[in-house]
Amino acid sequence: MKTSHVLASILAIAFLLASCGPAAPATPETQPLRIAYTDWPGDYIVLLAQELGYFSQYGVEVIPVHYESFSSAFPDLATNRIDGINIVPIDLLPIIQDDNVRIVMVTDCSDGADQIVASAEIQSIADLRGKRIGVSTGTFGEFLVREMLESGGMTTADVTLVDIGPESVPDAIPGQIDAGHTWEPHTSQAEALGEHILFTSAETPGLLPDVFAMRAEIVENRPDDVRNFVSAWLDAAEWWIANPAEGSQVIATAIGGNPDDISLDGIKIYTAEDNRLTFTENPGTDASSIYYVIRQNLTFSVESGYITVAPHLETIINPSFLP
């Protein structure tokens, strides 16, 4: 799953500079929405909606803006260079300043795409006691590791967390770590080295979603564009679910890639109905409610010290644009 391991303090500086500098000119109603995307399959829906004409059908202009990583997209969101971003809540919460974004829908969820791989001698979660686990600390990866440990009756006090990126996990076993959080293609690399999958996000359904966040200014001043954007996105999502091979081909053509490298394996794409269901219960009692999930994310971020000022969730979560 996508991630951005950016210190909250650095991002806060970007927002501070944006607020102290000259005010940005008002965004005309006719200016296209600039939407960030990376090479995460869930992000590609913006390209599908564009290529299949859904944005045109709903009368909203969109410019997809590609980023190699979301670490570079965050400052652009802070300085109004982009208007919306598809993002993991844990990554979003630390960069919110004065409730300046709105979560308008849930787009997708990791459903097995995130894995904890381990050395051959570790055959159960219990075997991790006293071991070293590699993970990008402060991210959804750490959140997943904590959930895994809890399912085995442990906490992070029973292990040693080592701050390491998912791409480095396979080679770091067993010298630096005994297990670690990663995803494809790194999982296949780990298995080729004799390591194995110990735990996946499929065992925590609904816990690792992506949400679509837009600048509050856009939501407040251009509600029709936001509503049409959400409807076009969800139509494209449902089309891809119904036409997986064709959808991958459309995306591959758009990015100049190979359709065989674009897959929804291990990812649940959210439809309009999925959104209506996940926004039904507030606060909810389990991961079927996005309110519950985001509150869990916030508790983790605050207790871990990654957030010092918590956003007002009732303000930033706004599902009123769902069809």
Same domain, 223 and 97: yes
Domain with 234 in it: 8-111+207-321
CA-wise closest residue to 47 among 266, 237, 289:
237
In the prediction, which pLDDT does 29 show? 60
Look up residue 280 and give its two tokens.
Answer: 């039904």
| 26 pLDDT more than 70 | no
Do 130 and 80 sit in the same domain of this protein?
no
Segment 97-115 shows an average pLDDT of 97
Predicted local confidence at residue 2, as pLDDT = 62
CA distance 186 to 79: 34
Same domain, 173 and 28: no
pLDDT of residue 104: 98
Mapping DSSP to helix (H, G, I), strand (E, B) and coil, where does residue 46 land? helix
> Is residue 20 very low, low, confident or very high in pLDDT (cuts 50, 70, 90)?
very low
Give the model confidence (pLDDT) of 30-87 as tens digits.
799 999 999 999 999 999 999 999 999 999 999 999 999 776 798 999 899 999 999 9
> Is residue 23 pLDDT above 70, yes or no?
no
- High-pLDDT (> 70) share of the chain, %: 91
Q: Which of 203, 231, 263 is the last residue of a domain?
A: 203
Higher pLDDT, residue 4 or 243? 243
- Burial state string for 66-85 with b = 16 or more CB within 10 A and e = fewer than 16: ebeebbebbbbbbebebbbb
Quote the mean pLDDT of the chain: 92
Residue 176 sits in a domain whose CATH number is 3.40.190.10
For 317, the token pair is 């979560």
pLDDT digits (tens, 9 = 90+) for 171-219: 999 999 999 999 999 999 999 999 999 999 999 999 999 999 999 999 9
At 27, list the tokens: 């965004």
One domain, residues 107 and 213: yes
Same domain, 33 and 95: yes
Question: Would you say residue 124 has pLDDT above 50?
Answer: yes
Predicted confidence band of residue 11 (pLDDT cuts 50, 70, 90): very low
Q: What is the pLDDT of residue 99?
A: 96
Based on the fold, state whether residues 48 and 161 are members of the same structural domain: no
* DSSP state at residue 317: B
Q: Which of 148, 176, 203 is the last residue of a domain?
A: 203
Strand partners, 160: 132
Would residue 317 count as lying in a domain? yes
| Three-state SS at 128 | helix
Q: Could you tell me if 75 and 218 lie in one domain? A: yes
For 4-40, give the DSSP string: ----HHHHHHHHHHHHHSPPPPPPPTTSPEEEEE-SS
Query: Does residue 211 sit in helix, strand or coil?
Result: strand
Strand order in the sheet with 33-37: 62-66, 33-37, 84-87, 209-215, 101-110, 267-269
pLDDT of 15 reads 45
Whether 179 and 133 have beta carbons less than 8 Å apart is answered as yes
**pLDDT greater at residue 149 or residue 21:** 149
Q: Quote the CA–CA distance of 180 and 119 in Å, as a whole number.
A: 9
Same domain, 32 and 180: no
- The reported pLDDT for the residue numbered 235 is 98
Residues 67 and 213 in one domain: yes
Same domain, 164 and 17: no
Q: How many domains does the chain have?
A: 2
Interatomic CA distance for residues 119 and 191, integer angstroms: 10
Report helix, strand or coil for 287.
Answer: coil
Burial code (b: 16+ CB inside 10 Å, e: under 16) for 47-56 equals bbbbbbebbe
Domain final residue, candidates 187, 203, 219:
203
Kindly tell me if the per-residue pLDDT of 10 is higher than 60: no
At a CB cut-off of 8 Å and minimum separation 6, what does 212 contact?
84, 85, 86, 87, 103, 104, 105, 106, 107, 230, 233
53 and 80 inside one domain: yes
259 pLDDT band, cuts 50/70/90, is very high
CA–CA dist 284, 228 (Å, integer): 28
Question: Are the C-beta atoms of 77 and 215 separated by less than 8 Å?
Answer: yes
Rg (C-alpha) for the chain, rounded Å, is 20
Residue spans of beta strands (DSSP E) within the chain? 33-37, 62-66, 84-87, 101-110, 114-118, 132-135, 160-163, 179-183, 196-200, 209-215, 267-269
| Type of residue found at 53 | G
Q: Give the residue from 67, 72, 123, 75 showing the smallest Cα distance to 95.
A: 75
3-class state of residue 52 by DSSP? coil
| 213/317 same-domain check | yes
Of residues 54 and 2, more confidently modeled: 54
Model confidence at 225, pLDDT cuts 50, 70, 90, reads very high
